[in-house]
Amino acid sequence: MATASHTRDLIVLGIETSCDETAAALVRRDASGNGTIMANLVRSQFSLHAAFGGVVPEIAARAHVELVDLLIAEALAEARLDWEAIDGIAATAGPGLIGGLIVGVATGKAIALARGLPFMALNHLEAHALTPGLTHGLRFPYLLLLVSGGHTQLLIVKDVGSYIRLGTTLDDALGEAFDKAAKLLGLGYPGGPALEEHAKRGHASIALPRPMLGRAEPHFSLAGLKTALRHEAINRAPLGTQDVADLCASFQEAVADVVADRARRAMELYIDALGATAQRTLVVAGGVAANQRLRAVLGSLTARLGFDLILPPPDLCTDNAAMVAWAGAERLARGLVDGLAAPARARWPLDPDAIPALGAGVKA
């Protein structure tokens, strides 16, 4: 992998449209590899999808079309920059909902073509993975646990463009499991924060399975846990407030046990792969990283195994365009530029050499 060769500041526009957030951001990367956010705008489409209990792809794509130009103009105004100051354009090209991806990629390419600027087609997972370089100046390598509504991955981040996927989910993403659990308990969408709130008043007294615990590969599987929760809820119907709280607490505790076990296994594999002297840092990103119980469990685990724990600030953990702009700047600095033929890709694994995880609905 080429080392950072740029000797001047680079300013990159980032565009994010892979799911239900439309986002545009401007980030400056200086010659020594440090980043500054100059503008970071996110418009959630939450209210457009809430009535459906999940994201509707066609509605999302249409909303991206309506918003993205406006947000880019706002970002430039907020950063007090004009197009002359921009060195490159980065847009999320996958993985994600294809309609939204096409909107972001087409917008980015059109600007790049019109302004004669380099274009970077970004992998959304790479943008999450590189965020601690922007937020904490963290250098490579490190271990990443990415847990959101769409992704559940354990990755060794070796360098820009160099990733080893240790674990993924065989079925639901972690946030998706929280959302489905919350939905079946009647708690609304997105369910993670609501479920955590109810769990505070509950006791983790209901026996639920801990899928994949102790398995050698740090994969996840959450569908069975969700089904077990459904059975327990049906057995107790009609559910009182305390029943709901106890079910939430029990579910959250089962998830926390699984996450701690899978992360512990990944830390062992990280040391096996990179050696005992490798930098020991675990980064946790994605919306589910907001969960206090998970934070506590991962805090004691990393302390026990001599790892530092880095949790980027919530607004940079969840989907945003600053991470896209930053990853684009990291790529641009290394000359890793894409042509205008780069496609939008609904599926795009970060580590193409990863041995496929055997399961019904593997996402990446």
Whether residue 192 contacts residue 240, with contact meaning beta carbons closer than 8 Å, is answered with no
Exactly one of 218, 286, 312, 349 binds ligand KG4 (CB under 6 A); that residue is 286
Is residue 344 helix, strand or coil? Answer: coil
Binding mask 146-165 for ligand KG4 (x = CB under 6 A): --xxx---------------
Phi–psi pair at 117, nearest 5 degrees: -110, 155
Structure tokens at 349: 């694994």
- What is the contact surface with Zn ion in residues (CB under 5 A)? 148, 319
Q: Report, in Å, the least distance between residue 288 CB and ligand KG4.
A: 4
Q: Which are the contacts of 353, defined by CB distance < 8 A and separation ≥ 6?
A: none
Instruction: Based on the shown chain and the rule CB under 6 A, indicate whether residue 57 belongs to the binding site for ligand KG4.
Output: no
Q: Give one word for 306, left, alpha or beta, with left for phi > 0 and alpha for psi -120 to 50.
A: left
Q: Restricting to residues 6-45, name those near ligand KG4 by CB under 6 A.
A: 19
Q: Report, in Å, the least distance between residue 320 CB and ligand KG4.
A: 9
Q: Which are the contacts of 152, defined by CB distance < 8 A and separation ≥ 6?
A: 146, 167, 168, 169, 173, 174, 220, 222, 363
Which of Zn ion, ligand KG4, none lies near 193, with the C-beta cut-off 5 to 8 A by kind?
ligand KG4
Distance from chain centroid for Cα 148 = 5
Exactly one of 178, 220, 307, 326 binds ligand KG4 (CB under 6 A); that residue is 178
Pairing of strands 142-147, 281-285: parallel
Q: Restricting to residues 335-364, name those near ligand KG4 by CB under 6 A.
A: none
Q: Which stretch binds ligand KG4 (CB under 6 A): 30-38, 59-67, 187-195, 344-352?
A: 187-195
Whether residue 299 contacts residue 262, with contact meaning beta carbons closer than 8 Å, is answered with no
Structure tokens at 277: 């002297």
With CB under 6 A, what is the number of residues at the site for ligand KG4? 20
| 66 vs 315 by CB, closer to ligand KG4 | 315
Exactly one of 318, 323, 326, 348 binds ligand KG4 (CB under 6 A); that residue is 318
Q: Which stretch binds ligand KG4 (CB under 6 A): 75-83, 107-115, 240-248, 285-293?
A: 285-293
Binding site for ligand KG4 (CB under 6 A): 19, 148-150, 175-176, 178-179, 190-193, 196, 286-288, 290-291, 318-319
